[in-house]
Amino acid sequence: NVGFLGGEVEQPERNIPRAILWSIALVGVIYIVMNIGVLGVMPWQELIGSQGAQSYVMSIFMQRVYGGWAGGLITALIMWTAFASVFSLLLGYSRVPYAAALDGNYFPSFAKLHPQGHFPKVSLLWLGGVAALFCCFSLAAVIAALVVIRIALQFLLQAVGLLVLRVRRPELARPFRMWAYPLPALLAIVGFVYVLFSRTNSLHQLA
């Protein structure tokens, strides 16, 4: 999400890579420590055998350690965090149509900012409305569509576009460095194509 906010980040060539790498490392450590704590209270056999335990691991964990009130509290906090995550992503993605509108490549109304909050209000409202419409479809259909759209129209084309831009515009300033170029980009392209076509009914979903 930080990539969408690059225009608002100070020294993005330094701070964006740091934010990405540090967040991956910290989240990984927190996740491992959390799972070690859970396995100290709930045996892994129980997590595999019970569908309810799989769905409400942290709630059951807190309930066993501190009582029923703690289970309810952690459930509420998880729901709050889920809403906050969606809201954060919505704010980040609203910058994409906003930036395109500023460059003259999208509808001009999407370049409007909120007078007090200084966020792209039109873009945010449109994305929120479209996201609400997707709630009318099944979760499996939405996830399948998002996987296809994001891989085919975003991740894959970004990697290909990087190679094309490097060849066609070698004089452009490049504040971001890719180690072992172009190997990471080529590996990413191969990986995205594999994920795209290795799923069940992938050709049907692409059509």
62-97: pLDDT as tens digits: 888 888 898 899 999 999 998 998 888 898 889 989
Say what the pLDDT of residue 79 is. 92
pLDDT at residue 32 in the model:
94
Measured distance CA(110)–CA(133) in Å, rounded: 20
**And the tokens for 125?**
């409202």
pLDDT at 186 over 90: yes
Q: Please list, in sequence order, all residues whose beta carbon lies within 8 angstroms of the beta carbon of residue 57, skipping any fewer than 6 positions away.
A: 38, 42, 47
**pLDDT per residue as tens digits for the range 169-183:** 988 888 777 889 999
pLDDT at 206: 55
Lowest mean pLDDT among 1-15, 47-61, 98-112: 47-61
